[in-house]
Structure 1
Amino acid sequence: MSIFFLSVFELEPPTFVKKIENVTALAGDSVTLQAVVKGSEPISVTWMKGKDIIKDDNNVRVTFDHGLATLQITGVQLSSGGKYTCVAENDAGSQSCFGELAVKGQWRSAVVPAVSHLRGEEISFCTPELKTKWFKDGKTLPASKKYRISFKNNIAQLNPVALLCAQQSQKHNSTPVLLMCSFLSFFSLPTDHVLPASTVHFKGMFKGTTPLTVKWFKGDTELLTGGSCYIMTEALTSYLELYAVKPSDSGKYTCKVSNVAGSVTCSANLFVKEPAAFKEKLEPTHLVKKGGYAELACEVTGTPEIKITWFKDDRELKESDKYRISFTKSLAILHVSEVDTEDSGEYICKAENDAGKDICSSVVTVKESPYFSKEFQSMEVLKDSDVVLECEVLGTPPFEVFWVKDDKPVRSSKKHRISIEKSLISLHVFRFDASDVGEYECRVTNDVGSCLCRSEVTLKEPPQFLKKIENISSLRGGTVVFQAAIKGSLPITVSWLKDNDEVIEDNNIKMTFVNNVATLMVRSIELKHDGKYFCQAKNEAGIQRCSALLTVKGWSYPEGLQ
């Protein structure tokens, strides 16, 4: 008859533990949208913008790892804004969550910095068609004979002829001043990602009435020529060069141009990629017990995307039942399950990105706990004999061996000798006597475990009569029984003697030794049976005797009268 068992497992539909958050970004920025999903595996995740499914390309990357669904967009544009949907599905159902991406565009000022990645490589920035307006005391100034307004080659000019001429004539007796101006809104140049050790160029171009004062800033700190920074200003152009840039050089760089009529600024963001590096390296060594697991963890810093690769003795490791590999929130982990001695070796973690790479390593040693393949047993030994307690131990050496008798340590001496030869461990006890009787224990340890065996060792006990045979009188033709109770170490041999001659069994004489009781039975007693009987007990430890008399009484009838 066949019996079938049906197991039913309830599947858990996908659930968003963390939903997409609304994000606001500037044009050119990189944006990451994330959601955390739980539910029964396998789970598939799809990203959508509107009704369109989003797929990986040069600017978009979609990943789903350990419940974390991620959408990364590099260099967002105004058209990137909108509603994004993350759909998670498994066999139990599907679930969706939504988030908004708002992209803001900004105009730039009249000072236009140009940024390049490497020396000799230029980057161009294009601006949309611009319209300008001029205001005085909150009121729009239209073009007229009084106000000459022009916008050419991205330069906005206002020439208030009458007013300026009058003011300047009083002070300088000069021609009208050409005002520098800022546009109604500013355009933030795209963040520029450059590699460490690159040379970065900023170029600012401007127009205005001289004299002009040009200053460069990183954040609120003014930059001056020196070290890895060089500034050069010509008539209507200023250059800022940064040599061998480092991640610490990342920040907002501003060019400020001023004259008596006012000032304008323009800024650009510089982002120097941080090379992949280990903030917390692997522990130099790991000791693991055979059959257990090893977990190697290290913390990585650097500019995403960072690639993590694991090696064992220069062989790349791949995700499998044996190796579980993860890299989440800068923590790289390698989990090795059910380790065996062949899993010992050097494990290397390699972290790399566009800006650089770093490695760290750990030596993993897998050891097997000691165990006895052969143990010594309890025994009885003869007094003054040399006794050897021997056992065989397997596992990963080196071992530490401890001998104990009745909870007191035993050390090598004239009385004891401890020896270890490969897997054989022994304790020799010389001229064993009553003081050596007791419980002996051998404990073997290594770095990952221990084992123990113990047994009693006693002296062999010579035979001793607990009950001796007694004198007996009997008439001829009767039956007599001699009995003695004996104790001592087995095996014990019992024999009977009469007047120093060994008693031999026959039809009328029977001898037994059962349950430590020795018995001699004599039937059909005759005069020849009269005499002294001995019961003799013997074992390896000694020999003992006890004796009794058998007296036979009565007359025998003459032949023919019976």
Structure 2
Amino acid sequence: MVRLAAPLADHGAASRGKHHSGADERGTGEGSAIQEKCYLPRFLQIPSDLTVEEGRFCRIDFKVGGLPSPDVSWYLDGKAIRPDDYHKMLVCEKGVHSFIIEIVTVHHAGVYECVARNRAGESRFTMRLDVIAQELLRPPAFTQRMQNSRALEGDAVRMECKVDASPPPRLFWKKDKDMLRVDPNRMSLYQDGSGRQCLLIERLTKADAGWYTLSAINEAGMSTCNARLDIGTRATQAMKTAPPGSKTLKLLSSLSHLAPPAAEPPVRHTAPLYESEEL
């Protein structure tokens, strides 16, 4: 009996060993199948840096792939961001994600990091969000306005004004109702860091007369300033010069040797003498 028991015991151990070996093979196969179906997260579309005004709505879209679908986390300057009344994280179709800030404040400015994780690993990207504070955002305002000017043909004139705004505005010059065509041979535009603007026009002509308008525009609003420029004609020579050989010149020459009467002093003319062919 003892001899029979020993072979049975050996047979049972072999069976268990075989069963255990089969389980290892199935486990290896399942592990290989799982490994084949896992893909590292990969960002297919990432946002660029943004600048947003305080109090505005901000939406950041990006696209990420991976298998299984990765979990996404956001960090601001290294601190984790949790979804709340101000921050929302949405998943749209085809792997498109959105990170939303309902009302932007100056505290939302900084470097954002987005991390996507699944069983295969993780990927990340960073972006910067700049916030323009409300107190720094000012619509254009003309602190010095252009003045109406009068000049003569051939002269030069300067039309100056000063505008204050944040951020610095874009500027547009008009003459009457059309955009000003700057003649580089006679016209120059100048500005400095204090907001002073200057239009210089040289060798004025009659065509330069009219209304000049400067418009300043930025994200906060727009303002305009205008002035009138009038151009006068230079006066012609008051005294006409008698042409050589004329009757007037001969008459004046024949009288030049006669002395005035002693009782009457020479006549002094107080107004310009205009000569005429009728003399």
Q: Is the 8 A contact 2:115 2:122 kept in 1?
A: yes
Cα drift, residue 442 of structure 1:
1.6
Q: Is the 8 A contact 2:188 2:201 kept in 1?
A: no
Distance in 1 between the 2:44 and 2:190 partners?
A: 39
Cα drift, residue 452 of structure 1:
1.5
State the number of aligned residues: 223
Please tell me whether residue 347 in structure 1 is matched to residue 22 in structure 2.
no
Partner letter of residue 394 of structure 1?
A: G
Please tell me whether residue 427 in structure 1 is matched to residue 99 in structure 2.
yes
Partner letter of residue 347 of structure 1?
A: T
Please tell me whether residue 537 in structure 1 is matched to residue 216 in structure 2.
yes
- SS at 2:6's partner residue? coil
Give the corresponding residue for 2:50.
Answer: 379
Cα drift, residue 391 of structure 1:
0.5
Which of 143, 156, 181 is the equivalent residue of 1:479?
156
Q: Is the 8 A contact 2:151 2:157 kept in 1?
A: no
Partner letter of residue 235 of structure 2?
A: P
Distance in 1 between the 2:102 and 2:56 partners?
A: 7
Distance in 2 between the 1:409 and 1:502 partners?
A: 55
Aligned in 2, Cα 1:419/1:485: closer, same or farther, shift over 3 Å? same
- SS at 1:377's partner residue? coil
Listed as ranges, the gaps of 5+ residues in structure 2 are 240-279
Cα drift, residue 560 of structure 1:
6.6
Cα drift, residue 482 of structure 1:
5.2
Q: Indicate the structure with greater helix content.
A: 2
Please tell me whether residue 275 in structure 1 is matched to residue 36 in structure 2.
no
Cα drift, residue 520 of structure 1:
3.0
Aligned in 2, Cα 1:542/1:411: closer, same or farther, shift over 3 Å? farther
Q: Is the 8 A contact 2:68 2:119 kept in 1?
A: no
Distance in 1 between the 2:191 and 2:68 partners?
A: 51
Partner letter of residue 541 of structure 1?
A: A
Partner letter of residue 535 of structure 1?
A: L
Which of 389, 392, 399 is the equivalent residue of 2:70?
399
**C-alpha RMSD of matched pairs (Å):** 5.0
Distance in 2 between the 1:278 and 1:510 partners?
A: 100
Listed as ranges, the gaps of 5+ residues in structure 1 are 1-227, 230-241, 250-271, 285-297, 299-309, 313-345, 349-360
Give the corresponding residue for 2:7.
Answer: 246
Cα drift, residue 480 of structure 1:
3.8
Q: Is the 8 A contact 2:41 2:116 kept in 1?
A: yes
Which of 154, 165, 173 is the equivalent residue of 1:496?
173
Which of 361, 365, 379 is the equivalent residue of 2:34?
365
Map of 1:81-480 to 2, 5 A cutoff? 228-229=1-2, 242-246=3-7, 275=14, 278=17, 347=28, 364-366=33-35, 367-421=38-92, 422-459=94-131, 476=152, 477-480=154-157
Give the corresponding residue for 1:505.
Answer: 180
Aligned in 2, Cα 1:407/1:507: closer, same or farther, shift over 3 Å? closer
Percent identity among equivalent residues? 17
Q: Is the 8 A contact 2:114 2:125 kept in 1?
A: yes
Deviations, residues 304-344 of structure 1 (Å, cap 9, x unaligned):
xxxxxx6x7xxxxxxxxxxxxxxxxxxxxxxxxxxxxxxxx
Aligned in 2, Cα 1:525/1:513: closer, same or farther, shift over 3 Å? closer
Give the corresponding residue for 1:327.
Answer: none
Aligned in 2, Cα 1:442/1:507: closer, same or farther, shift over 3 Å? closer
Deviates more, 1:476-485 or 1:368-377: 476-485
Distance in 1 between the 2:6 and 2:192 partners?
A: 99
Partner letter of residue 373 of structure 1?
A: L
Cα drift, residue 513 of structure 1:
9.0
Distance in 2 between the 1:489 and 1:513 partners?
A: 19
Cα drift, residue 534 of structure 1:
5.4
- SS at 2:67's partner residue? coil
Deviations, residues 214-240 of structure 1 (Å, cap 9, x unaligned):
xxxxxxxxxxxxxx33xxxxxxxxxxx
- SS at 1:246's partner residue? helix
Give the corresponding residue for 1:81.
Answer: none
Q: Is the 8 A contact 1:369 1:396 kept in 2?
A: yes
Q: Is the 8 A contact 2:149 2:229 kept in 1?
A: yes
Aligned in 2, Cα 1:441/1:362: closer, same or farther, shift over 3 Å? closer
Cα drift, residue 478 of structure 1:
2.6
Q: Structure 2-normalised TM-score? A: 0.56
